[in-house]
Structure 1
Amino acid sequence: MTEPHHTPRGLAAAKKALFAGLRFTSLRLRLVVVFALVALTAAVSASGIAYWLNREAVLTRTQDSALSDFQQEMQNRAAVLPEHPTQGELQHAANLMANSSQHFSVLLTATDENGRDVVGNSDLDAFTPADVPASLRRAVNKKQKITENNKAPYHLYWQRITQDGTPYLVGGARVNGGPSGYMLKSLEPEAKDLGSLAWSLGIATALALIGSALLAQAAAATVLKPVHRLGVAARRLGEGKLDTRLRVSGTDELADLSRTFNRTAENLEKKVADMSAREEASRRFVADMSHELRTPLTAITAVTEVLEEELDAETGSVDPMIEPAVRLVVSETRRLGDLVENLMEVTRFDAGTARLVLDDLDIADQITACIDARAWLDAVELDAERGMTVRLDPRRLDVILANLIGNALKHGGSPVRVSVRTEGSDLVIAVRDHGPGIPEDVLPHVFDRFYKASASRPRSEGSGLGLSIALENAHIHGGEITAANSPEGGAVFTLRLPQQEQEPKHETNSPEGGDR
């Protein structure tokens, strides 16, 4: 069993599809993330505000109730104590005050008749003088000045503290001329309630985040589906399928975009159709004109051949006065014949009807035959290994070589050197002359049709189509021709033809445009 394999084209298509999928997923992911972030921000903000409001409400309510009861107990119990109470009196009063509905611990401090500090504590283990913050003790025992706005010398103060991870409320007050009292109330029940509230808000936030992600997924699918269809349609349009249209539904921005795409595609199809019609008409005109010119040109060529024979005859039957004119007619007739043939060849390339007739060739013999047929043996040096066989169209290769070598002899300088080598699987033929080279501003245009390097020389012996036809013949083989200047002087035209086994580039031959 053979293992599966992928062709380069298949790998490229797979990579293209993968990248397209990644881009699509990336856009979907960005939409989901944006939705999720907005929902998360809103949920966290709402949960934070709700938690803060509830926390303040719960703590304020508990705190106000405890401090209110403590202040009332101080007025009812501590205010009736003598100015210098005993430790037992303080202890009894503290126990009575601790029986309040708020269930706080009480600590009373005073001085006895001997000036010693005495302490009364309702819970020796839970509340001692060391548990009272120094700042709170100083504030409670500080006597305030009596004014219009301040009717009492001592005030009630409170502070929230944490001991061993448990929150407490500590309050303190002093009776005018009596003991100082402090209360300690645990806020652990309220902390547990607030913890439950935080968990509930956290769960609600997580559910909101999940819901927003699902809604974002649905919204992304709703938004990206038309965008995906638009992308597919754009790719089809780029592939030349100009009849591609989108089905439009709705009145939103995406529907407007689809309508705009359809109008653009319709206008593009019309313009391309008009351009194709004009190009076809122009190509048909050139082809018809070339065909129509061949019949009278054949007759004119026959006459010029007779005149040329008379010029070369020893009898000298042609008047010497008209001999220059006859030679001009003969030369221009040949040039016109070459132009017509080249126009017909260009027409076949433009129409896509040119085709290859491949054969196995000895490249050195083929180049030698091309040079010998045109009597260029004395002006051309060939550097090619004998016995190198290639599979090419011999007629089209001859056209390429004749144009490149003839161009080098005409516009360059002798000797012209033709070298053949192989680079990998490519056959490379370089044609170099020893002339002044090609101007840099001319190099990009040497293969353009009818291009003239100098505007002052609109006429030349050639048709202006030779290099263009040579390039088209290289393209139909799947190859390329490049022009450059050699560092050692002169111009170099390099023909590169692939030799790997592959389908040659050609179009189906039409009945009237085939090669002959």
Structure 2
Amino acid sequence: MFKHLRRRLTILFSVLTAAVLAAALTATCRMAQNEAVSGADLVFANTVSAIEDAVTENNLVRDSWLASQEAAGRLVLYMEDNGHPLVFSGGWTPADERATLVALAREQAVSAGLNPDRLHRQKVNFSLNGAQLSGSYTCTAMLLPSEQTSSAVLLYIIRDMGPLHDRLWIMAWQYTALWAAGALILAFLSHWMVDRALRPTAQAMQKQREFVAAAGHELRSPLTVLKASLQAAQAPETAHLAPQFLSHAASEVDRLSRLTEDLLILAGGDAGVLRTSLAKISTDTFLVELYERFAPVARNHGHSLTLNLPNKPLPDLHADAQRLEQLFAVLLNNAFEYSPAGTPVEILAELPPSGGLHIAVVDHGPGVPDTEKSRIFDRFARGDRSRTDKTHFGLGLAVASQIASLHGAILRVRDTPGGGATFVVEWRNNHVLDRSSFS
């Protein structure tokens, strides 16, 4: 499912970003082409003005100067002085014959409004059109009368548009190549971003599948025992053992109840609907009561339980006392059951120099290997994978970590000096209450 979703989102984002890039580059290309056309038109206009001034102000225009103007502007110049054409071979060779270009210019200039019979200054601009032409041309035709005589100079300045058109096409292809390269880069980035965005969801879905599978496996065992015990209690041949079978069934019901409660806590935490009754609690009082409640449990398991508090009063907590007791019950029961009999267990409260509050449960058992420290808070994880008894589901530390998160705390594990494991619930400054604010 995620593979298909990833592909569709990648295609969608690639198309959208490529479309936006295409629109931006198209607008930029149009602006650049318009600037190129405007620049070329301005150069042509200046050249026309220079030629016009040279013809009207000087009695003699050198062929070398005309040739340089032609070659620089890709122009074809033709002049008639009082009906007599100027003999000028040109400064370059256009793609079409000069005579053809001039003939079309003479013909189409009249259509554009030039009247050679009227001796006053005239100027028209037009495009040369002809099926016989292989290139694209524009023309400026001028009639420049002499102020001293009744004669006039007829001037045709034919401009080859091929170089400008080639330049515009090159610009278009450059921007197209730029778009193609950008679209490929954006497609790669879209794939990378979609993959990164979906990765947490995919991991969460995978964990959810593993969680459901593990939960089903854990539920199957007590249900099987429960069904078998009830069937045996009802069978005539084992009726005399019915109290024993019913006792087994009751034990399995208790197991199911504990497992269901743990699953509800984890599911409620995932959904953000786990209810807590937060109130200000005295941390010193809570720890003393916790010690008094679990000291007999520790003795039954062959351990001594101690409570170690700092000399300074501990800050109050904004917490759910019942949930908090459930958290430390998990840590203490794990310490009692996994530590060898006769080893001490300690409840330790610390005030770090940086502020906040640490409450730890310290044991001197086998400890937690470094390779397991990153996974013992996972659901259905057991510190000892070879353990096969049915008293543990591998949910205790996951539940404890969930309750810690609900209280703005972090549950960590570290090695106990000399051997063992120390589980620490860490609160930072913004999650503890200063007693002085309530005095």
Q: TM-score, normalised by structure 1?
A: 0.38
Q: Answer with 1 or 2: which has the greater Rg.
A: 1
> Which of the pair has the greater relative contact order for Cα pairs under 8 Å at 6+ separation?
2
